[in-house]
């Protein structure tokens, strides 16, 4: 008989208290927990150091929740890397016990686990999202690198539920070129909204 191993910690690249910079919850205080490990491999990823989970210390659930609870905000954002590579049941339960709303930022390429209060799905071309995850998305955030991404965005928008918020976000290194394209696209397709990486504009984590 195989006994399921209880998860007591996770590889954490970094953790910090800041404002959510993107999407529906922009401007809200949130504690970010960036887990190590990713097999999606976006070429323009700005946290490539997160890809190898073995490079990052395993923090206990008590440590993670203690750091998070030392701040007054009660939104915890689990991000990565690709956080869905991990079984998130234990960390979700621990954070909920601390009265946090638990949000996740994921590519959707792995099955989601844990009780999640908000799912930000940002699908990547390098590894397709699972169909089941499309239906669970509270917001769909498409990173726009060039014009062809608008068609790609519509393909994914057709797979999410009617409650899902739709966002187009310029890839940071191409923001000057693609932001005007996104603005024009949204004016013609008002079911979409603009998401900006406001944390980068105001120079916060």
**What does the angle CA 76 – CA 19 – CA 119 come to, to the nearest 5 degrees?**
45
| Digit-coded pLDDT (tens) for 144-183 | 999 999 999 999 999 999 999 999 999 999 999 999 999 9
- Kindly give, in sequence order, each residue whose CB lies less than 8 Å from that of residue 41, ignoring residues fewer than 6 positions away: 51, 126, 127
CB 181 within 8 A of CB 147: yes
CB 78 within 8 A of CB 94: no
Q: What are 166's two structure tokens?
A: 């739709």
Nearest to 52 by CA among 43, 33, 39: 39
Cis check for the bond before 81: say yes or no (omega within 30 of 0). Answer: yes
Confidence of residue 5 (pLDDT cuts 50, 70, 90): low
Domains and CATH numbers, the chain: 9-201 (3.20.20.70)
- Mean pLDDT for 2-31 is 90
pLDDT at 125: 87
| Digit-coded pLDDT (tens) for 182-194 | 999 999 999 999 9
> Among all chains, which residue has been given the structure tokens 């927990």?
33
Mean pLDDT score of the chain: 94
Pairing of strands 192-194, 118-121: unpaired
* Measured distance CA(13)–CA(113) in Å, rounded: 20
- Mean pLDDT for 34-51 is 82
How far is CA 73 from each of CA 21, 30, 200, rounded to the nearest angstrom?
15, 6, 20
| Digit-coded pLDDT (tens) for 59-101 | 999 999 999 999 999 999 999 999 999 999 999 999 999 999 9
Helical packing angle, 61-69 and 89-97, nearest 10°? 40
């Amino acid at each position: 008989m195989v006994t399921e191993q209880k998860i007591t910690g996770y590889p954490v690249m970094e953790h910090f208290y800041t404002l959510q910079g993107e999407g529906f919850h922009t401007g809200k205080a949130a504690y970010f927990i960036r887990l190590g490990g990713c097999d999606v491999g976006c070429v323009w990823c700005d946290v490539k150091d997160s890809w190898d989970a073995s490079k990052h210390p395993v923090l206990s659930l008590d440590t993670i929740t203690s750091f998070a609870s030392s701040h007054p905000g009660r939104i915890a954002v689990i991000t990565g890397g690709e956080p869905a590579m991990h079984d998130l049941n234990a960390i979700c339960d621990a954070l909920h016990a601390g009265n946090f709303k638990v949000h996740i930022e994921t590519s959707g390429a792995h099955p989601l686990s844990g009780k999640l209060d908000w799912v930000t799905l940002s699908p990547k071309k390098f590894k397709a999202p699972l169909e089941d995850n499309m239906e669970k998305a509270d917001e769909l955030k498409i990173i726009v690198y060039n014009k062809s991404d608008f068609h790609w965005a519509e393909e994914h928008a057709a797979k999410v539920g009617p409650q899902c918020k739709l966002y187009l976000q310029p890839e940071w290194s191409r923001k000057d070129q693609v932001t005007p394209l996104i603005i024009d696209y949204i004016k013609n397709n008002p079911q979409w909204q603009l998401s900006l990486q406001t944390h980068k504009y105001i120079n916060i984590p």
